[in-house]
């Protein structure tokens, strides 16, 4: 991505990171990502909204040169995380006249996290405006989307909303505008799951506020610009709402096929009840843990239930399951029901350990089924009963969605 116009005298000047495979050393990014920075050129003043990850500083500076930018009056930081502020020093070195602008939390975090001189930051509050001449930038606070400092900028004259991380996607493309491809929508859902879902209540409010603004374009800090805002807003409204799908996600690990046999039995019985089932093998290849945990977390955006399936290893859950459970616990999904199944050799503390790992999950706990070795007929009966119980509970939910 080089310099791409997205509106009258408004340009995307950030950087593509197409070969980034992992974000935060945690989230798989199979489509890479972008660090968006937006240049807003008014009749009197020029503002740069966000910088880029320090890995891509040279790209940002090159793009600013290509755009013929000789003066930046305001360097606006919507969010302190380094993928948006890590190039601030380089921008200020080239454009020393620029006034850094951010809210109070941005100012404080720039100081504590990046050791930036806080006295250089002009602090803005909710509703404050910066006048660029024929365009005014209005600051709107969106705390916990996903840090306490996140801010949006609204340009009424162009009806463009710069939304910081909110509505972003880890999806790199040379085209600035989001297509309606399933791939791109999936990237947006994965991004929501991993980054925004833990703050679902706040995100719902920010989404409603954005809807009320009726923007012509939403320009997030990652991924393409949404030229049809309804495409992303309607999805956020669904994801942050209370509705769930008739979907059961089954992350599992199996070492000697005992747990796999139990998972297969559950899948058959649950699908016979008309439910959708997704089984996620967390251990089939060295990459499975990261990739399948990412997919599992995305399932949790709207799955009605989760069944965690693990063998016992050294008394507790298989470490891969412990990892997946820890991540699920952190993102606080709206999943309604949860169960644990698995196998063990001679003794197990798996139920106790898993309860501790998933203590943040509000889902109602159903019966645990643990088999000693390969599941016996009695174990299979318990699995069938679990499947029947779960399916009847899901079908009775008042707010099921397609």
Taking the complex as a whole, how short is the minimal distance between the CB of residue 79 and ligand FEO, in angstroms?
5
| Least Å from the CB of residue 168 to ligand FEO | 7
Measured from the CB of residue 164, what is the shortest distance to ligand FEO in angstroms? 8
CB of 45 vs ligand FEO, minimal distance in Å: 26
Closest to ligand FEO by CB, 17 vs 84, is 84
Nearest residue (beta carbon) to ligand FEO: 81
Q: Do 14 and 35 form a contact (C-beta atoms < 8 A)?
A: yes
Label the pairing between strands 99-102 and 10-12.
Answer: unpaired
Q: Which stretch binds ligand FEO (CB under 6 A): 75-83, 97-105, 182-190, 334-342?
A: 75-83
Q: Distances from the Cα of 176 to the Cαs of 21, 160, 224, 377, in angstroms?
A: 20, 14, 5, 57
Decide if residue 49 touches ligand FEO (CB under 6 A). no
Q: What binding mask, one character per residue, do residues 77-106 give for ligand FEO by CB under 6 A, x or -?
A: --x-x-xx----------------------
What burial class does residue 386 get, using C-beta atoms within 10 Å of its C-beta: 0-12 exposed, 13-18 middle, 19+ buried? buried
Q: Which is nearer to ligand FEO, 83 or 379 (CB)?
A: 83
- Minimum CB distance to ligand FEO smaller for 17 or for 79: 79
Of 299, 303, 305, nearest in space to 245 by CA:
303
**Contact between residue 342 and residue 370 where contact means Cβ atoms under 8 Å apart:** yes
Task: Classify residue 308 by burial, with Cβ atoms within 10 Å: 0-12, 13-18, 19+.
Answer: buried
Q: How far is the CB of 336 from ligand FEO (least distance, A)?
A: 29
Residue 264 in tokens: 């297969």
The tokens of 15 are what?
């950087």
CB of 379 to ligand FEO, least distance (A): 45
Pairing status of strand 74-76 against strand 99-102: parallel
Contacts with ligand FEO by CB under 6 A: the residue count is 9
Please provide the distance, in angstroms rounded to a whole number, between the alpha carbons at the two ends of the chain. Answer: 36
Is residue 398 exposed (0-12), middle (13-18) or buried (19+ Cβ within 10 Å)?
Answer: exposed
Helix (H, G, I), strand (E, B) or coil at 348: coil
| Residue ranges in 197-315 assigned as alpha helix (H) | 200-213, 229-240, 258-272, 288-299
Chain residues 188-227 in contact with ligand FEO, contact rule CB under 6 A: 221-222
Closer CB to ligand FEO, residue 221 or residue 338? 221
Q: To the nearest whole angstrom, how small is the minimum distance from the Cβ of residue 33 to ligand FEO?
A: 8
116 versus 147: smaller Cβ distance to ligand FEO: 147
CB of 221 to ligand FEO, least distance (A): 5
Contact pattern for ligand FEO over residues 107 through 146, marking x by CB under 6 A: ---------------------------------------x
- Rounded Cα gap, residues 101 and 106, in angstroms: 9
Nearer of residues 223 and 316 to ligand FEO, judged by Cβ: 223
Q: Which is nearer to ligand FEO, 152 or 357 (CB)?
A: 152
Mapping DSSP onto H, E and C, the string for 104-163 reads: HHHHHHHHHHHCCCHHHEEECCCCCEEECCCCEEEEEECCCCCCCCCEEEEECCCCEEEC
Q: Report the site for ligand FEO in 153-172 (rule: CB under 6 A).
A: 165
To ligand FEO, the closest distance from the beta carbon of 248 in angstroms equals 31
State both tokens at 252.
Answer: 């599992």
Considering the complex, state which of residue 306 and residue 327 has its C-beta at the smaller distance from ligand FEO: 327
Chain positions contacting ligand FEO, by CB under 6 A: 79, 81, 83-84, 146-147, 165, 221-222
């Amino acid at each position: 991505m080089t310099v791409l116009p997205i509106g009258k005298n408004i340009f995307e000047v950030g950087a593509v990171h197409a070969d980034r495979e992992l974000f935060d050393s945690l989230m798989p990014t199979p489509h890479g990502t972008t660090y968006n920075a937006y240049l807003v050129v008014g009749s009197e003043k020029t503002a740069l909204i966000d910088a880029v990850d320090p890995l891509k500083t040279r790209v940002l500076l090159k793009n600013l040169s290509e755009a013929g930018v000789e003066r930046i009056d305001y360097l606006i930081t919507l969010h302190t995380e380094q993928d948006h502020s890590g190039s601030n020093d380089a921008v200020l070195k080239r454009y020393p006249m620029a006034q850094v602008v951010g809210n109070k939390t941005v100012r404080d975090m720039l100081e504590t996290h990046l050791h930036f001189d806080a006295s250089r930051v002009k602090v803005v509050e909710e509703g404050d405006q910066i006048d660029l001449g024929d365009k005014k930038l209005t600051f709107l606070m969106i705390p916990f989307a996903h840090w306490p400092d996140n801010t949006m900028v609204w340009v009424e004259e162009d009806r463009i909303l710069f939304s910081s991380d909110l509505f972003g996607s880890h999806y790199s493309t040379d085209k600035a505008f989001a297509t309606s491809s399933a791939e791109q929508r999936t990237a947006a859902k994965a991004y929501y799951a991993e980054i925004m879902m833990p703050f679902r209540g706040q995100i719902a409010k920010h989404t409603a506020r954005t809807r009320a603004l009726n923007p012509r374009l939403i320009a997030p800090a990652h991924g393409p610009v949404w030229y049809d805002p309804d495409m992303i807003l309607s999805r956020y409204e669904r994801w942050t709402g209370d509705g769930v799908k008739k979907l059961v996600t089954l992350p599992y690990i199996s070492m000697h096929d005992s747990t796999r046999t139990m998972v297969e039995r559950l899948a058959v019985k649950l699908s016979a009840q008309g439910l959708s089932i997704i089984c996620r093998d967390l251990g089939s290849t060295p990459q499975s843990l990261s990739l399948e945990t990412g997919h599992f977390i995305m399932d949790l955006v709207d799955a009605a239930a989760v069944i965690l399936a693990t063998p016992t290893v050294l008394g507790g859950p298989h470490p891969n399951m412990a990892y997946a459970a820890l991540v699920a616990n952190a993102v606080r999904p709206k999943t309604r029901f949860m169960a644990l199944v698995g196998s063990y050799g001679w003794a197990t503390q798996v139920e106790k350990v898993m309860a501790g790992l998933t203590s943040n999950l509000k889902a109602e706990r159903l019966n645990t089924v643990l088999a000693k070795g390969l599941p016996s007929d009695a174990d299979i009966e318990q699995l069938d009963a679990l499947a029947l119980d779960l399916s009847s509970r899901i079908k009775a939910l008042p707010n099921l969605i397609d």
